[in-house]
C-alpha cells in the first residue's frame, strides 16, 4: 500500500512537471497553523471589500471545506515571468506581470489540472480529486509551505529559493494519503526590508501583514468604487495590479522564464496604451479583454484606473481621451476623469470641467468636478 502511494506520487510529480509545473510538493490535509492569522487579518479590516473571504471563513479551517474527504494536497507552482517590463512612457499604464498574456491564467492552469485529473481517473477512478487555482477557500500559501515549496516572505507572497515568487500556485486535493514532503520551516528574508520600504502606498502594516485597503493590486482590481483620493498619486503608472514588492525582492533576480505563448505580452516592448481605452465601448472592450485577466475589473474599472494614471502623468496629450471619459455613461469613469483633468490643469482641461459641471447630475461626479475646479480657482 505504501509502495502504491509512493508510486502514485512519483507519477504525479513526473506528469505535473511535463505539464509545466516547475514546483511540486505534497502536504497532508490538516488545519493550517496560520488560520488564526487569517481571522485576525479579517477582524482588523485588512480584507477590505473582499467579502467572499469572511463569507467562507469556516471553510478555510480545513481542506475538507473545499473537498470533503481530502487526505493530501498536491501543491504546484507554474512560472509566469516572461520578458522584463519596459518603462511606461507617457500615456501608457503598467500591468502586473501575471496579467500580460492573452489568456486568463485560471483557464491556463485549470486546463492542465483537468488533464492531470483525467489521467489520474484512468489510473484509479475511485480517488476523489479536485483542482483549484486561487478561487477556493484554501490557505494555499500555508499548504505550499507545508509541502516544502518555500516560505512566506515579508511581502506576504510565497518565495522559493530557485523560482522567486513569479509563479501561480495551484492545488490538487486528493482523497488518498500520499507521502508528505518535509515542510519548509526556515525563513530567508533575513534583515531585508526592501519590499516594505518600496511599497508606494505603505500597504504593509508590519512584515507579512498587508492592509488590502492601501494595496494598489487590490485598489485597481478588486475595489469597485472610486479610488481613495489620497492614494491616487501613489498609484503612479499602475493601471492593473502592482509588482513593486516583487520586483525589488532579491529572490526574484533569478527564476524560470515561462515560454507558454498565452503568457507572453502581445507587444513585448510596450506597456498598455491608455488613450485608446477611451475609444472602446462595452462590446469592443469585451472583444479585446474577455479572455484576459483584465476582464475582471470590467471596462469601468480599467477606465477608472487609466484616468488616474493619466492624471498622474499630467500629459496634456491625454486631455481629449479624458474628455471622453468625462462624458462616459459610467459615473465611476466620469469621476476619475474629472480628477485627472484637474491634475493636468490646462486651459482645455478646465474648459471641459466647466462644461460638464453645467450638466452633471451624479452627486459623486459633481463632487469630483467641484474639487477639481476649486484647485483651478
Among the listed ranges 111-119, 125-133, 135-143, 151-159, the one in contact with ligand SF4 (CB under 6 A) is 151-159
Determine if 65 is a binding residue for ligand SF4 (CB under 6 A): no
User: What number of chain residues touch ligand SF4 (CB under 6 A)?
Assistant: 24
Query: How far apart are the C-alpha atoms of 101 and 185, rounded to whole Å?
Result: 34
Determine if 249 is a binding residue for ligand SF4 (CB under 6 A): yes
Determine if 85 is a binding residue for ligand SF4 (CB under 6 A): no
Q: How far is the CB of 154 from ligand SF4 (least distance, A)?
A: 4
Among the listed ranges 54-62, 148-156, 273-281, 293-301, the one in contact with ligand SF4 (CB under 6 A) is 148-156
Please, is 123 exposed, middle or buried when counting C-beta atoms within 10 Å of its C-beta (0-12, 13-18, 19+)? exposed
Map the footprint of ligand SF4 across residues 187-226, applying CB under 6 A.
189, 192-195, 199-201, 203, 210, 215-217
Instruction: Tell me whether residue 134 is one of the annotated catalytic residues.
Output: yes
C-alpha to C-alpha distances, 216 to 25, 62, 105, 171, 309, nearest whole angstrom: 31, 30, 20, 26, 12
Cell numbers standing for residue 341: 483633468
Per residue, the 3-state secondary structure of 166-232, as one string, reads CEEEEEEEECCCCCCCCCCCCCCCCCCCHHHHHCCCCCEEECCEECHHHCHHHHHHHCCCCCCHHHC
Evaluate whether 246 touches 85 at the Cβ level (below 8 Å): no
Whole-angstrom distance between the N-terminal and C-terminal Cα of the chain? 80
Residue closer to ligand SF4 by CB (options 215, 352) is 215
Q: Which of 60, 166, 168, 251 binds ligand SF4 (CB under 6 A)?
A: 251
Determine if 155 is a binding residue for ligand SF4 (CB under 6 A): yes
Q: Which of 77, 153, 226, 255 binds ligand SF4 (CB under 6 A)?
A: 153
Point out which residues bind ligand SF4 (CB under 6 A): 153-155, 159, 189, 192-195, 199-201, 203, 210, 215-217, 242, 244-245, 248-251
Amino acid at each position: 500500500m505504501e509502495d502504491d502511494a509512493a508510486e502514485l506520487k512519483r507519477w504525479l510529480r513526473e506528469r505535473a512537471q511535463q505539464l509545466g509545473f516547475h514546483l511540486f510538493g505534497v502536504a497532508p490535509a490538516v488545519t493550517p497553523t496560520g488560520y488564526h492569522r487569517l481571522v485576525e487579518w479579517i477582524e482588523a479590516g485588512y480584507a477590505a471589500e473582499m467579502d467572499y473571504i469572511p463569507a467562507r471563513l469556516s471553510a478555510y479551517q480545513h481542506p475538507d471545506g473545499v473537498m470533503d474527504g481530502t487526505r493530501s494536497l498536491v501543491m504546484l507552482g507554474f512560472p509566469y515571468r516572461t520578458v522584463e517590463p519596459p518603462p511606461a512612457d507617457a500615456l501608457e499604464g503598467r500591468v502586473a506581470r501575471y496579467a500580460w498574456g492573452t489568456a486568463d491564467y485560471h483557464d491556463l492552469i485549470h486546463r492542465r489540472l483537468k488533464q492531470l485529473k483525467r489521467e489520474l481517473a484512468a489510473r484509479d477512478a475511485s480517488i476523489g480529486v479536485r483542482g483549484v487555482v486561487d478561487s477556493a477557500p484554501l490557505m494555499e500559501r500555508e499548504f505550499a509551505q507545508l509541502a516544502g515549496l518555500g516560505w512566506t516572505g515579508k511581502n506576504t507572497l510565497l518565495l522559493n529559493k530557485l523560482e522567486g515568487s513569479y509563479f501561480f500556485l495551484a492545488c490538487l486535493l486528493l482523497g488518498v494519503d500520499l507521502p508528505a514532503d518535509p515542510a519548509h520551516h526556515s525563513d530567508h528574508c533575513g534583515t531585508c526590508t526592501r519590499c516594505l520600504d518600496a511599497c508606494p502606498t505603505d500597504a504593509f502594516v508590519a512584515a507579512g501583514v498587508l492592509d488590502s485597503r492601501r494595496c494598489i493590486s487590490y485598489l485597481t482590481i478588486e475595489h469597485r468604487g472610486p479610488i481613495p483620493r489620497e492614494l491616487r498619486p501613489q498609484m503612479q503608472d499602475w493601471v492593473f495590479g502592482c509588482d513593486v514588492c516583487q520586483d525589488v525582492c532579491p529572490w526574484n533576480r533569478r527564476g524560470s522564464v515561462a515560454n507558454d505563448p498565452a503568457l507572453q505580452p502581445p507587444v513585448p516592448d510596450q506597456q498598455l496604451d491608455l488613450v485608446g481605452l477611451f475609444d472602446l465601448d462595452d462590446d469592443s472592450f469585451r472583444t479585446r479583454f474577455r479572455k484576459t485577466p483584465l476582464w475582471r475589473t470590467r471596462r469601468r474599472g480599467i477606465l477608472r484606473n487609466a484616468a488616474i494614471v493619466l492624471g498622474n502623468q499630467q500629459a496634456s496629450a491625454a486631455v481629449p481621451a479624458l474628455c471622453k471619459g468625462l462624458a462616459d455613461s459610467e459615473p465611476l469613469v466620469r469621476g476619475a476623469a474629472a480628477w485627472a483633468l484637474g491634475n493636468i490643469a490646462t486651459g482645455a482641461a478646465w474648459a471641459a470641467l466647466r462644461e460638464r459641471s453645467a450638466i452633471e447630475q451624479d452627486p459623486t461626479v459633481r463632487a469630483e468636478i467641484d474639487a477639481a475646479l476649486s484647485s483651478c480657482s
